[in-house]
Amino acid sequence: MKYLITSYIFIIGLAIGSFLNVCIYRIPRGISLYTPRYSFCPICKKRINWYDNIPLISYLILRGKCRSCGAPISIRYPIVEVSTAVSFILLYIENGIDLYFFISAIIFSLLLCIIFIDTETMLIPDLLSIPIGIVSCIYLLTLSDMAIVNRLITAAVIFAIFYSVSKIVKGSIGYGDIKLLTFLSLLLGTVNTFFMIFIASLLGSVFGIVWGKRREGLKTKVPFGPFIGMGALIMMIYGREMRFIYQLVLGNK
Ligand SMILES: [Zn+2]
């Protein structure tokens, strides 16, 4: 039964990942998500037939090239499809299927779009971050009064800290990042938010150093959104384990 559900989740994950690819391409370019209804090659603009548009499989069959013009298809397409499917499965294994699973799956999808769009454009569209806030608020309604108060305070503190930082050190953190952090802290609560920021900073620093070395002399800006997104994904799947480790470390002191 578990294998059957896992395979279903994998297939649904690939299909949702395929739609996320449409969002990642279209949202920053201001193209409607609904029209045209069909997918098209970004180079030759030819319509892509359904049999060339099957998640993952078509990419492998076409060996990453457009059937009509031979232009390379971005490796991002299979990467997004597989990451969506795999993160849904990890979430299912860790959590089972309940309300939190569906809420997390929606937020995962939004975060994956943000990770790729922010990497490409250095912007986090409100169209993607505000729904994270809305879904987080819906999740809050299922919690106890104490937990709700905790999360509201956490979100307020996170907003205040990062907003002040952005005012004091100009250009250090964007408003898109602050909004994203605030909305995610509503969902995650104090301890997990702390871990998310820690993981994001760690990944961001490591990446910044590696990236900085590769492009010596050039002052390149590294977007923070993708790392916040990755930190949140990790905490949403492995929050329990991370808290357990945290308590172990504290307990041994
Ligand atoms: Zn083409």
Residue stretches of the chain with pLDDT short of 70: 212-220, 252-253
What separation in Å is there between the alpha carbon of 60 and the centre of ligand 1?
Answer: 16
Q: How many CB atoms lie within 10 A of CB 118?
A: 25
What separation in Å is there between the alpha carbon of 40 and the centre of ligand 1?
Answer: 8
Position 214 scores a pLDDT of 64
What separation in Å is there between the alpha carbon of 31 and the centre of ligand 1?
Answer: 18
Q: Same domain, yes or no, for 130 and 217?
A: yes
Domain, as residue range, for 228: 98-253
Position 219 scores a pLDDT of 54
What separation in Å is there between the alpha carbon of 127 and the centre of ligand 1?
Answer: 29
Q: Same domain, yes or no, for 124 and 72?
A: no
Backbone φ, ψ for residue 33 (5° rounding): -75, -15
pTM of the model: 0.91
Position 13 scores a pLDDT of 97
What separation in Å is there between the alpha carbon of 24 and the centre of ligand 1?
Answer: 18
For residue 49, give every residue at least 6 positions away whose Cβ sits within 8 Å of its Cβ, in sequence order, or none. Answer: 67
What separation in Å is there between the alpha carbon of 193 and the centre of ligand 1?
Answer: 43
Last residue of some domain: 72, 96, 120? 96
What separation in Å is there between the alpha carbon of 67 and the centre of ligand 1?
Answer: 7
Last residue of some domain: 42, 71, 96? 96
